[in-house]
Amino acid sequence: MKPIFAFLLFTILLTAPGSKAETTVVVDDFRFTKTVDIQDQRLKLKGAGLLRYMVFIKAYAGALYLPDSAPSDPVLAPVAKRLELAYYHAIGSEDFAKATRAKIHDNVNAEQAEKLRARIDRLAAMYRDVKPGDRYALTYLPGKGTRLSLNGEDLGLIPGDDFAGAVFSIWLGDHPIDETFRDTLLGVS
C-alpha cells in the first residue's frame, strides 16, 4: 500500500498548480519555461525542439517565445520574440561567428547583407565560447533591438528590425539551419 500512496502523492505534486511540470517543457536534457517576461511583455512558448547534426549528434535544444498576438510569419514581423538555445557540446566563438555569417547570407540578398555587415560583425564580436549546458538567448524588442545573452549575462544589443529579421532567419527563415527544427520551433510539426 505504501508504494501506491507514494506514487499518488508524487502524481498529485507533479500536477499541482505552479509545479515545474506545469510551468516548463522538457526537451531531452533541458527544461524551458512556458512563458518569459521581457520588460512589460509576456511571451509564450511557441515551440521547442532538438537540433541534431548528422542525424545522431545532438547539437542543441531550443525554444521560441512569441506574444499571443504574433502574426503567422513572426520571422520578419516587428514583434517581440525570444529564442533560447541550450548546447550539448563546447563550441568556439569563432565557429558561432562563421555560422552566423553563412546562414544570414543564405537568407538575405547581397544588398541586404552589405547593409547588415557592420551589425553582423558586432554580433560576431559578442559571441563567447560555450561549454555543454550553456544557453544563448536572442531577444528582440521592437524599437530597441536584438539582445544577446549567455547564461543570463547580457552581452549586448544591436538595433534594427532588419537585423532582427536576418538573425532570426538563421533558425526560422526560408533557408534555416534545419527545416524540421524550424517547423518545431514554429509549432507546425
Whole-number Cα distances in Å, 112 to 77, 87, 90: 16, 30, 31
pTM: 0.84
Domain ranges of the chain: 24-185
pLDDT digit string (tens) for the chain, length 189 residues: 455 444 333 333 344 444 445 788 888 889 999 999 998 889 999 999 999 988 788 999 999 999 987 766 766 678 899 999 999 999 999 999 999 999 999 999 999 999 999 999 999 999 999 999 999 999 999 999 999 999 999 999 999 999 999 999 999 999 999 999 999 999 887
Closest CA to 169 of 57, 42, 33, 76: 76
CA distance 66 to 82: 7
Report, at the CATH architecture level, how domain 24-185 is classified. Answer: 3-Layer(bba) Sandwich (3.50)
b vs e for 41-56, b when ≥16 Cβ sit within 10 Å of the residue's Cβ?
eebebbbbbbbeeeee
**Cβ proximity of 171 and 181 under 8 Å:** yes
Bridge partners of 41, per DSSP, are: 38
